[in-house]
Amino acid sequence: MDVNTPGWLSEVVASHILSIPPYVPGKPVEELERELGVERAVKMASNENPLGPSPRALAAVQQHLRASHVYPESSAPRLRTALAERYGLSPDSVILGNGSDEIMQFAAHVFIRPGDEAVMGANAFSMYRIVVEAFGGIPVQVPLKRHASDLKAMAGAVTERTRIVFLAVPNSPTGTIVSRAEFEGFLGSLPRKGLLLVVDEAYREYVRDPDCPIGLDYLNHEVPVLVLRTFSKAYGLAGMRVGYGMAREWIVELLNRVRPPFNVNSLAQTAALAALDDEEHVRRTLTAAREGMEYLVGELKGLGFEVIPSEANFVAFCMNRDARPVYEALLREGVIVRHLGSFGMPECIRVTIGTHSENERFVHALKRVVPCTA
């Protein structure tokens, strides 16, 4: 904490807030350029869309700018209706968030009371832990098995105090999935009442394995399910901050009680609505991700790294030593990737699939730095 932090803070701020370690984001390009004096740095660290935003979204936002003096519609009915139509749901089964992160926060706000537990994979997306701790809950982290969510162990970690189970499919930061049979076995073993299963599908659009479960197929299961998706990845709108949740109406109604009005701004609503219809941009995005993945996996394997099989727009690779020196040497080459030390996987690095030239730049830099860091 800052040296100027007043000493009386611990008397007035709950200890579960003071003990939350802050979220560690991917390093911004500007910060690297400033710190190391490198030019034309590339960021392949936050699983953003390397093709940029949907052109339709850009055009729609430009049009809408003139109306930005007006508050947005609080519950974003047009966007909710469009999403509901796409997935065959009622608009009241859809909630929007300032990123899907915000909907995780709503879920923890509603379901976690001090001392309650939330089960999640160890090394999982760190917002799960942060939102649970923010409401005084206890994150119960279950180690991955061969880099994938260990559903049997997660079910075994559920107790009478468990109020939320977080499951990311594909998982972040590994990109691994679970099979439909595993998922159904897992659902079948969870208690029918008392908890919410959050299926985080931030990377669902990238999945190609037909055996990967689709959370939406289980919205009517006896176990209450909340599916989270986002416009940050395949739709290229990470900076706009729009995510959405889909669940039975009573769950959405509860989450809405803690949702601030106007939580998704009007430009973001406009952009997301246009991006949803921009099938061409999504198609180009998925093709670039597939081609980039093939190229990177081939190169990484060729260099002798263990490559974790990924169904997302990123891939993690591991070495039999701490990967931090490789990560730092890549920074000096102007390539920002993610060292997975803060995810409990210090031997691994995660790289977001970039454009072809970004992927090549990363591979060339890696080939240069690996011999010097061994």
Ligand X SMILES: Cc1ncc(COP(=O)(O)O)c(C=O)c1O
- Per-residue binding letters, 215-234, with ligand X (x by CB under 6 A): ---------------x-x--
Q: Which amino acid is at 295?
A: Y
Quick check: 126 binds ligand X (CB under 6 A)? no
Site for ligand X in 167-186 (CB under 6 A): 168, 172
Residue of 89, 108, 110, 125 that binds ligand X (CB under 6 A): 125
Q: Which of 199, 241, 216 is CA-nearest to residue 53?
A: 241
Site for ligand X in 245-274 (CB under 6 A): none
304-308 CB contacts, 8 Å cutoff, 24+ apart: 308/147, 308/174, 308/175, 308/176, 308/348
Binding segment toward ligand X, per CB under 6 A, in 97-105, 107-115, 141-149, 295-303: 97-105
Query: Coil, strand, or helix at residue 26?
Result: coil
Q: Which of 82, 28, 54 is CA-nearest to residue 240?
A: 54
Quick check: 96 binds ligand X (CB under 6 A)? no
Strand order from edge to edge, sheet including 348-352? 306-307, 314-318, 348-352, 338-339
Are the beta carbons of 111 and 137 closer than 8 angstroms? no
Binding segment toward ligand X, per CB under 6 A, in 58-66, 95-103, 139-147, 204-212: 95-103
Residue of 47, 123, 266, 285 that binds ligand X (CB under 6 A): 47
Quick check: 202 binds ligand X (CB under 6 A)? yes
Binding segment toward ligand X, per CB under 6 A, in 2-10, 99-107, 344-352, 366-374: 99-107
75-82 CB contacts, 8 Å cutoff, 24+ apart: 75/256, 76/264, 76/269, 78/269, 78/273, 79/242, 79/244, 79/264, 79/269, 79/272, 79/273, 79/276, 80/244, 82/273, 82/276
Give the C-alpha distances (Å, rounded to integers) separating 195 from 159, 192, 218, 231, 268. Answer: 10, 8, 15, 27, 31
- Per-residue binding letters, 131-170, with ligand X (x by CB under 6 A): -------------------------------------x--
What angle separates helix 249-257 from helix 100-111, to the nearest 10 degrees? 90
Quick check: 243 binds ligand X (CB under 6 A)? yes
Number of residues counted as binding ligand X (CB under 6 A): 13
Quick check: 123 binds ligand X (CB under 6 A)? no
| Residue 75 vs 172, nearer CB to ligand X | 172
Q: Which amino acid is at 108?
A: A
Binding segment toward ligand X, per CB under 6 A, in 3-11, 93-101, 158-166, 257-265: 93-101
Q: Which two tokens stand for residue 243?
A: 């995510």
Quick check: 101 binds ligand X (CB under 6 A)? yes
| Beta carbon of residue 9, minimum distance to ligand X (angstroms, whole number) | 28
Query: Is the dihedral angle over the CA atoms 206, 84, 264, 13 positive or is it negative?
Result: negative
Quick check: 122 binds ligand X (CB under 6 A)? no
Residue of 54, 75, 93, 100 that binds ligand X (CB under 6 A): 100
Binding segment toward ligand X, per CB under 6 A, in 31-39, 96-104, 339-347, 356-364: 96-104
Chain contacts with ligand X (rule: CB under 6 A): 47, 99-101, 125, 168, 172, 200, 202, 230, 232, 238, 243
